[in-house]
Amino acid sequence: MFIEPSFYQKNQGWIEVICGSMFSGKSEELIRRLKRAHIANQKVEIFKPLIDNRYDDKDIVSHDENRIQSTPVEAAQRILLLAKEVEVVGIDEAQFFDENLPAVCETLARNGSRVIIAGLDKDYLGKSFGIMPEILALADTVTKLHAICMKCGGLATHSFRKIINHEQVVLGEKESYEPRCRKCFSEGLAAQTTDQGNGTRDEVEGCSL
C-alpha cells in the first residue's frame, strides 16, 4: 500500500502517478489518497475529463463503486484556473486529456501543490496511451497496479478490447474490455487479426501459470 511521502512539507509540491491496466484499482487508489487528504483538512480539488461519463457525469467512481466528487473539465488548462492555492489536486483518467496536461501538472507542483494522477499507461494495442509517457517522466513517485488476467489468473498488465474497433479511445467497461497478462493479451490480438470481419471475441485459450 502506498504511504504518503515523509518528505512532504507545506508548499512543497510534487507529482504522484497511479497507472496500470483497466480494472487494476487505479481510481480506487486515487480516491483513497484524496480521502486521506480530506481527513487531514487539506484543501483538495479533483478533476476528470468531460468525456468520461461512464458511471457518473461528475463523480469519480471506481469499479467497486466507491466515489468522490469531482469537476469534469474539457481542457487541461481549465485545471489551472480552478486549482489556485489548492494543496492537493487529483486527476483521474489522465490518458484522455490533451497535450497540455503535463505542463499543467508541472506548474501545479512548482506552485506547491501535491498532484495525484491516475491513468492507463497502455492502450488497447499495448502501446503508450496519449500523454501518459510524459506524465510518467515528470512523476516523483509512480505506483503501477495490476489486475487479474481473465484468461489464466496471472497478473494482468494489459487492457484487452473484446470488440473490434480501431479507434484508440473507446469508452467501455466489462462488456468491451478485460484485463490480461502479456501472453494472453498477445494471443487475443493474434486471434482478432485472423477474424477482423465478424467482431466476435476471441476464443483462444489463455496461458497457464
In the chain, % of residues over pLDDT 70: 76
> Which residue among 16, 93, 178, 187 is the active-site one?
93
| CA distances, 86 to each of 41, 75, 79, 83, 101 (Å) | 12, 19, 11, 5, 17
Of 203, 126, 200, whose CA–CA distance to 164 is shortest? 200
Query: Is 65 considered catalytic here?
Result: no
Domain 14-145 has CATH 3.40.50.300: yes
pLDDT tens digits, 61-111: 655 656 678 899 999 999 999 998 899 999 999 999 999 999 999 999 999
CB-based contacts of 127, cutoff 8 Å, min separation 6:
none
Domain boundaries, the chain: 14-145
